[in-house]
Structure formats: structure tokens, C-alpha cells
Amino acid sequence: MKRILCLFLIVGLVGCATAPTAPSDIKLASHKRLYNQNLYKPSELRTVPVTITRDTGVLGSLATTFLKIDGEYVVWLNVMEEITIYLAPGGYVFEVENGVCPDIKQCKKSLDVTIKNGFSNNFRIAADDGFEIIRSNT
């Protein structure tokens, strides 16, 4: 019995970390989940593609994650999902929120972001130490 309990504990701890999703495993999130459908396509002002990918891993896998930009809901993502939106160059506040506990501080993280043409505007949502959004190179 102790061995089985130890095995579950080890598997649980190892499986908790999230990791970037391999490109071959990424699923495109439905554009119907965008709260503002205009973000799906570029416009005269919104010319910079911004890609957000949710990590793979067990931790937080049962929770839907919401992305807010400047306090406005943008999209919700499940594990291994990705979406590309278009923003105007400039400064933004990106915030991720765990759908299970949206009113608890540990379930939200924000990041001040500058969006520019010619730079990496790719982000990943990780759940290693609570939910957080991280700029990535890929």
C-alpha cells in the first residue's frame, strides 16, 4: 500500500510541471471563443500578429484559462491550444486568469507587454507557479 501511495505521489509531482507545447501537438483554438471577433483579422491599426499558446502538462489541465488585455476578456484557452490575434504596436497589460478560482489573487498573473513589429510577439501560458504569461521566442 505504501509503495502504491509513493508511486502516485511521484507521478503526481513529476506530472505537475507544465512545458511548452510541441508545434506538432498544438491545436488551434476556435475563433468563436474570441470575445472581440475583430482581433482575429488585421486592420489598418492592428497590424502585428500576437500568438498565445497554452502549455501542456497536468497542472491546471482541468481549468479553462482566460486571457485579458488591458482589463478586457480576449479569449479562453484549454491545454495545448493556441490562437493568433492582431494588435496595434504599443503597450498593453496581459493578464491570465484561472477559470476555477478567478477571484483568488494566486489564480491571476499580469505582464506589462510592448508589442512591436519585427520582434517576437509570441507568448505562452504556463501553470508552474500559479498561472502566468511568458514571452517566448517561438
Please provide the DSSP assignment of 21-69 as one string: PPGGG-EEPPGGG-SSGGGGS--SS--EEEEEEEPBSSTTTTS-EEEEE
pLDDT value at 108 more than 80: yes
Angle at the Cα of 131 (from 133 to 81), degrees rounded to 5?
Answer: 65
Residue 62 pLDDT: 60
Residue 71 pLDDT: 94
How, if at all, do strands 72-77 and 65-69 pair? antiparallel
Residue 61 pLDDT: 57
pLDDT value at 45 more than 50: yes
Cβ burial 116-132 (10 Å sphere, 16+ → b, else e): eeeeebbbbbbbeebbb
Indicate the pLDDT class of residue 7, thresholds 50, 70 and 90.
very low
Indicate the pLDDT class of residue 138, thresholds 50, 70 and 90.
low
Classify residue 107 by its DSSP letter.
G
Indicate the pLDDT class of residue 81, thresholds 50, 70 and 90.
very high
